[in-house]
Amino acid sequence: MNKLIKWVLYSGYVIVVTLFFLYVLFPADAAMEYFSGYLAKHHPEYAVTADTVKPSFPPGLNLRTVSIAYKGDTWIDLERVRVRLHYLSVFSPSKKVFFTGRAYSGDLKGSMDVQKEEPAYRMTMAAELKGIRLEEIEYLQTLSGRKLAGRLDSTIDFGRDKKAENSLNVTLHVADGEVGLTNPVFSINNLSFDKLEAELVVNRRSLKLKRCEINGDQVEGDVTGVVLFRQPFERSRLEFKGNVIPQHLLMASLKKALPKSLLPSKKTGEKGFPVKLYGTIEKPKFSLR
């Protein structure tokens, strides 16, 4: 009995010491080099860097101060990310990875599947975002060329539709939002809203807005349309149309900017009046159709 107890204690000691040294001596640089090498080989347009990489339990990796770049431009900065491999996929030709993280004052979680399909690999991903602050995303502000603010909840699916290669399906829920207008419309510099809900599909050629509904003290309405990507991005074409119902704050601004004869009347109807957004991202144009 005493020998059994000693054996158990000794085995436990060996396991604890082994785990301790695995954690302390974990080859973080080698792990990042391996991952970076994999990306460079199979997805050379992407790059991922992290300040620190440490093992975690259950088995996985904890990464701190993570940056994700595309073609040299940093898209996303994350405070921390935890990644772990699905146990059952260890012995499978397809690998499944779960991840959780923290970024822009919000949280994210999801999974990624990598399957080998000759002559390359096929990747699919599903992610959920909660409480992301848009005004903290520097690249988003730079890309749009205007102030964007609000609290974002979103779901993202990538690569699940085999008929649409490398397509990104996104649902958006933005609360307490604000959009700065580079060219004021009727003396209005910012558009604020209480809630925005949207569904969109992104691929290499375009961004298609399938549905967008907005509600707030300035405006209510719905919009659909497309962004046709061009190089540089600022020259991408805008083709949007929808219906808008001005609310009391917007009406107050319109009364200062428009003659009474041009103001929308109470007889506009439940759908409001038609609007159109066109031109380019760099020089958008607005009209009442």
**Per the domain annotation, does 42 fall within a domain?**
no
Q: Establish if 204 belongs to a structural domain.
A: yes
Rounded to an integer, what distance in angstroms lies between the CA atom of residue 239 and that of residue 178? Answer: 21
Q: What is the mean pLDDT of the chain?
A: 79
pLDDT of residue 257: 56
| Domain region containing 253 | 86-288
Residue 131 clears pLDDT 50, i.e. is over it: yes
Alpha helices in 112-199 (DSSP H): 138-144
Provide the percentage of residues in the chain whose pLDDT is more than 90. Answer: 33
pLDDT digits (tens, 9 = 90+) for 59-118: 778 889 999 887 788 888 999 999 887 776 666 767 788 999 999 999 999 998 877 766
pLDDT the model gives residue 25: 47
Which residue type sits at 216?
Answer: G
Distance, C-alpha 263 to centroid of its chain? 38
Looking at the 3D structure of the chain, how many domains does it have?
1
Query: HSE of 6 in the Cβ direction (CA atoms, 13 Å)?
Result: 3
Encode 81-117: b = buried (16+ Cβ within 10 Å), e = exposed: bbbbeeeeeeeeeebbbebebebbebebebebbbeee
Considering the domain boundaries, does residue 53 fall inside one?
A: no
> Is residue 264 reached through a cis peptide bond, with omega within 30 degrees of 0 on the bond before it?
no
pLDDT in tens, 159-188: 766 666 678 899 999 999 998 877 666 667
Tokens matching residue 246: 């001005």
**Mean pLDDT value of segment 232-261:** 74
pTM of the model: 0.78
50 within a domain of the structure (yes/no): no
> What pLDDT, on the 0 to 100 scale, is given for residue 26?
52
> Residue 110 corresponds to which amino acid?
G
Structural domain contains residue 10: no
CA–CA separation, 31 vs 78, rounded Å?
Answer: 18
pLDDT digits (tens, 9 = 90+) for 192-236: 899 999 999 998 899 999 999 999 888 889 999 999 999 888 889
Q: Which of 214, 136, 201 is nearest to 163 (CA)?
A: 201
Written as six digits, the tokens of 169 are 């399906």
How far is the CA of 43 from the CAs of 38, 66, 92, 102, in angstroms? 8, 18, 22, 24
- The Cα–Cα gap between 205 and 56 comes to 40
Amino acid identity at 177: G
260 pLDDT more than 60: no
Reading the block at residue 257, the tokens are 């900017």
- Is the model's pLDDT at 11 over the cut of 90? no
**Rounded percentage of the chain residues whose pLDDT exceeds 70:** 69
pLDDT for the residue numbered 21: 44
The answer to the question of residue 71 being in a domain is no
Residue 241 falls within a domain, yes or no?
A: yes
- The residue that leads in pLDDT, 150 or 47, is 150
Give the residue among 175, 98, 99 at the shortest CA–CA distance from 131: 175
Residue 277 included in any domain: yes
pLDDT above 90 (res 237):
yes
